Structure 1
Amino acid sequence: MQSIKDTIHEVIFAVLPVAVVVFILQFTLIWLPMEIFLQFLVGLVMVTVGLILFFVGVHIGLLPIGEMIGSALPNTGKAYLVVLFGFLMGFVVTVAEPDVRVLATQIDLVSQGEISKNLLIFVVALGVAIFVGLAMLRIILNIPINYILVIGYGSIFILAAFTPPHFIPISFDAGGVTTGPMTVPFILALGVGVARVLGGQSASADGFGLVALASIGPVLAVMLLGVIFG
């Protein structure tokens, strides 16, 4: 019960500044039509209630199950299963990520269908999945995260030289939206679970950094999409 109260307080204090700024602008500078302003108020209530339910659901369901899956997979004794299910989990949670769908919808609209919504979602999800799989492999092989980050971001800057200009901002936005409220909790919980079993003394360090790695994947994937279809 206390955690639910804390979640309600967090969401209210997160949404309140936005509401205050809009109220100030509405009654000082903008003066939107009352119908539009009422729609904003209704949407504000729905967003607040939705966020409360979402974060309660994350704490009740996603975090525990992600950590339990991450702890159970290494016990199978088969490294390829850890990597495979890391790949699959990275893909499906990214497809379900609301931020990714918002970005894909906006790009589909602005490009007038030239960059398909479903294609972009698939490419971004595939990029995240590959790098979540690599992150699982990194934990198993105890590879320092610095090496993968340097190689990953170095590849991004090299590939940017060959990517059509209009794909570059899309690719970095794609990397940003994968750090949304659906993907991050599950990937972090999965990584902590795997690292707790395989990480040994470095479990606390190995369990984190997955989001940084996962963000590289969609940037590279969208850049490659630009090189292919640009």
Structure 2
Amino acid sequence: MDNIRETIKEVIMSIVPITIIITILQFTLIWLPMETFLQFLIGAFMVGLGLILFLLGVNVGLQPVGELIGSALSKTKKVWMIVLFGFILGVVVTIAEPDVRVLGTQVDSVSGGSIPQSILILSVALGVGIFVALAMLRIILNINIVYLLIVGYTIAFILALFTPATFVPISFDSGGVTTGPLTVPFILALGVGVATVIRGKSSSSDGFGLVALASIGPIISVLLLGVIYG
């Protein structure tokens, strides 16, 4: 019950301020058609209701399952299995991420279909999957995350030199949308579960940093897509 109450409070604190600001602007500066403004209010209510249900689902289902999967994989003591399922789960969760689909739709629309939504989503998902797999390997081998971040961004900046200019901002936006409400809790829980089993509760913080690594994957994959399309 406390979880439901806290979730409702969080969503209200997120939705109400922007609703108030747009309402003030409506009656002072912009004066949108009343039909459009009413559609906005209805949309804000539906978004709030949807977020409450979505976040409850994440807290009740995705986070615990992610941590249990990470723990179960680690207990197998098979590195290849942990890395493989890290890749698969990274791809699947990213494909389901709402933010990625919104970006894909916008890019498809702006580019006039020259960058299809399906291709962009698949590229982003593969990038996340590969770097989640690397993050699993980092936890197992106890590699300093700083080295992986330096190498990853170095590759991204080098690729940016050979990629058409239009793909560069899209690639970095792709990295940003992977930090959405579906990907983050699941991937973090997965990493914490793996780290807890492999090096104990005291090192469970090693499971963090997965999102930082996962966000590099889409940047590199979309930049590679730009090289191919270019």
**What is the TM-score when the length of structure 2 is the normalising length?**
0.98
Matches within 5 A, 1:34-73: 34-73=34-73
CA distance in 1, matches of 2:105, 2:218: 16
Describe the shift of the 1:123–1:138 C-alpha distance in structure 2 as closer, same or farther (beyond 3 A): same
CA distance in 2, matches of 1:201, 1:98: 32
TM-fit CA distance, 1:108 = 0.3
TM-fit CA distance, 1:201 = 6.8
Paired residues of 2:192 and 2:205 also in contact (CA < 8 A): no
| Structure-2 residue corresponding to 1:199 | 199
After superposition, the C-alpha distances for 1:86-118 in whole angstroms (9 at most, x for unaligned) are 000000000000000000000001111100000
TM-fit CA distance, 1:136 = 0.2
Please state if 1:93 is matched with 2:93.
Answer: yes
Please state if 1:78 is matched with 2:78.
Answer: yes
Matches within 5 A, 1:86-125: 86-125=86-125
Tell me the percent identity: 67
TM-fit CA distance, 1:155 = 1.0
CA distance in 1, matches of 2:77, 2:166: 45
Paired residues of 1:128 and 1:214 also in contact (CA < 8 A): yes
SS at match of 2:113: coil
Paired residues, number: 230
CA distance in 2, matches of 1:201, 1:114: 48
After superposition, the C-alpha distances for 1:28-49 in whole angstroms (9 at most, x for unaligned) are 0011001101100110110000
| Structure-2 residue corresponding to 1:143 | 143
SS at match of 2:215: helix
| Structure-1 residue corresponding to 2:184 | 184
CA distance in 2, matches of 1:116, 1:208: 33
Is there any run of 5+ residues in structure 1 with no aligned partner, and where? Answer: none
Paired residues of 1:142 and 1:199 also in contact (CA < 8 A): no
Paired residues of 1:26 and 1:32 also in contact (CA < 8 A): yes
**What is the TM-score when the length of structure 1 is the normalising length?**
0.98
Paired residues of 1:7 and 1:56 also in contact (CA < 8 A): yes
Q: Which moved more, 1:120-129 or 1:70-79?
A: 70-79
